[in-house]
């Protein structure tokens, strides 16, 4: 069965620092990959997605993610974080049945 692992549970950064959040999945077949963000007190929103094509995907608010098939990874990056990026970030991958499986989430705290 598909599983998704986010290794960083809580990341604390200062403003302008660079960000990389790890995401690894287990199923080696064709995958669709997503990053969702949940701002404090709000619902989840789509940040970016990868279905096929260029493995470097750009999303909203300056975020990007790179799909590395050989490493079963889809890490999220941002060159310079802002206080407003404080949120919880979820990686998600489709399973063999087409349903979406979420990682445990990474809480990002950005200090002003």
Give the dihedral sign, CA 21/100/67/38. negative
What values do phi and psi take at 62, rounded to 5?
Answer: 80, 5
Minimum Å distance from CB 93 to other proteins? 8
Pick the piece of the chain touching other proteins (CB under 8 A) from 17-25, 57-65, 73-81, 92-100.
92-100
Instruction: Enumerate residues 53-82 that contact other proteins by CB under 8 A.
Output: none
**Contact mark string toward other proteins, 19..48, x via CB under 8 A:** -------------x-x-x-----xxxxx--
> What is the rounded (10 degree) CA torsion for 90, 75, 14, 61?
-70
């Amino acid at each position: 069965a598909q599983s998704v692992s986010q290794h960083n549970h809580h990341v604390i950064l200062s403003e302008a620092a660079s960000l990389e959040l790890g995401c690894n999945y287990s199923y080696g077949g064709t995958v669709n990959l997503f990053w969702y963000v949940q701002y404090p007190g709000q619902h989840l929103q789509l940040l970016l997605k990868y279905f096929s094509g260029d493995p470097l995907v750009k999303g909203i608010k300056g975020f990007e993610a790179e799909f590395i098939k050989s490493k079963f990874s889809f890490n999220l990056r941002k060159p310079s974080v802002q206080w407003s990026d404080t949120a919880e970030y979820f990686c998600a991958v489709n399973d063999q049945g087409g349903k979406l499986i979420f990682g445990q989430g990474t809480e990002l705290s950005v200090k002003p």
